[in-house]
Amino acid sequence: MAEHIDPAPDPIPEAPTPESIDPAVVVPETDDSLAPPPESAALFPSLDPAPQPPPALPPELGTEDPMALFRPGAHDAPSPEPFSPVPAVTPPPTSGPHLPDPRWPQSWSPPIERVTPVPEPAPTAEPTPRRRWPTALLGLAAGFLGALVAVGAMWGFGVFDDASTAETSEAAPPTTVIERVVTEVVNPNADGTTLAAAVGRKVTPSIVTVEFGTDSAAGFTVVASGSGVVVSADGLVVTNEHVVADSDGFDARVVLSDGRVFPFEIVGEDALTDLAVIQVPATGLTPVDLGSTRDLSVGDVAIAIGNPLGLAGGPSLTVGVISAFNREVNPGFNASDRLFGMLQTDAPFTSGSSGGALVDGAGRLIGITTAVGVAEAGSGDVGFATPVELMTRITDEIIETGDVKHAFLGITGRDQLDRLDDGSLQPAGAVVITSEPDTAAERFGLQPGDVIVGFDDNEVRTMQDLVIGLRHYRVGTPVDFHINRDGTVETIVVELGERPEGL
């Protein structure tokens, strides 16, 4: 409770206090020598929430005007010296008869709401901190707590809500939730299995066994066997030409990976690329996924799946890597038996695996296992597979027409070797030695001495590059040949002819 300093010179008599009522505030005895100037009392307003009676009127102002205390000049009277603290005024009791205050006329009651006069400017002399700091701290704390309560109340009643945001939210159209579809790539090792096991589960249903033999009352006697790869759900199977060659006079059948047995018919075959297509009278088969060799590198995983040695019990699987690209292989005794552009792998496969699948680490077909190079000395054999791009080109035409016609340029040639500054020789194209009569080369103006350095988007550094590349084209396809003629590179469009029989 704040102390009020009466500017009147006469002392104010203390209101009588009944013995049963304790004073609300007891002001301790104070050393008068430490008393602050009288004006300092107004600097610290009361922290006591209980209402207090107005101060006594000075004698010179009279008692007839109860608001005289708050009129200008009411406090101009000089304060007596020395200063003596005024005893606390006892508030009226909460019950029982109201005890009158002798300082106030009975006809006037204290106002319900307290009126706090505007404090006068602080005096030049600083108040003694020993008496006033606790009250100042309490005032600051009370003010801070009061501010927090007020802000909390305002927040609770939504004073700080953003009206524009609320209007925008109300005006916003309803949101339509669309189902999100997430595509995940399954890691073959996620369930603890190996890569080969995961690939095997995926590819094995697409592998078949091709058998030739005799069928009698005693059962089917196998004479020769190979492998095949399902390329369509309605029973088209790709295998090697040498698997189905010379099969006349034998009974033929296909054994699926689930053990079902079907007869088959040969749709067509091509000895130049050692590929063939057969038809199985079945539906709902599992075709293999086709991959690509263009994005592969030496050292990438290569998995072979087939039926080596015609063993019963379903396909077998071996794991290796891609060892090399564009190998030239001669599995026969004639020059026409040469195979170009073959994939080399160390994944083991042997007799009976011909016509099987060579797949990448994702289980996509990258080649048809075709030949095995048997090492006379060393640690093992080398396998070769026909690339999937060449397989697709040949088998598509077989399925469409039952036969294959191969494109033909009509030149003889050799590798062009350029000598470098360091004295070494470097392949730089395929040089034309002769342009055969009645061929595409002669009709479109290729001349001896021309160096073919490319065609379409393919680079040519050797004759083998030219032969491998042209096998992917059909007869009658126009091709842009880039030739170096007398030091000038020019382009000649050549429409490819058909390869003659016997070449």
Q: Which residues carry out catalysis?
A: 242, 274, 354
H-helix or E-strand containing 401? helix 388-401
Count Cα atoms within 13 angstroms, Cβ side, for 437.
0
Tell the burial category of 265 from Cβ atoms under 10 Å away from its Cβ (0-12, 13-18, 19+).
exposed
CA nearest to 302, candidates 257, 365, 352, 239: 365
CA distance 155 to 169: 19
Beta-carbon contacts of 120 under 8 Å, excluding residues fewer than 6 positions away, are 39, 42
Q: Compute how many other C-beta atoms are within 10 angstroms of the C-beta atom of residue 445.
A: 13
CA distance 232 to 480: 34
Phi and psi for 169 in degrees, rounded to 5?
Answer: -65, -40
CA distances for 416 relative to 232, 243, 413, 451, 466, angstroms? 43, 38, 9, 7, 12
CA distance 110 to 100: 11
Q: Compute how many other C-beta atoms are within 10 angstroms of the C-beta atom of residue 432.
A: 22
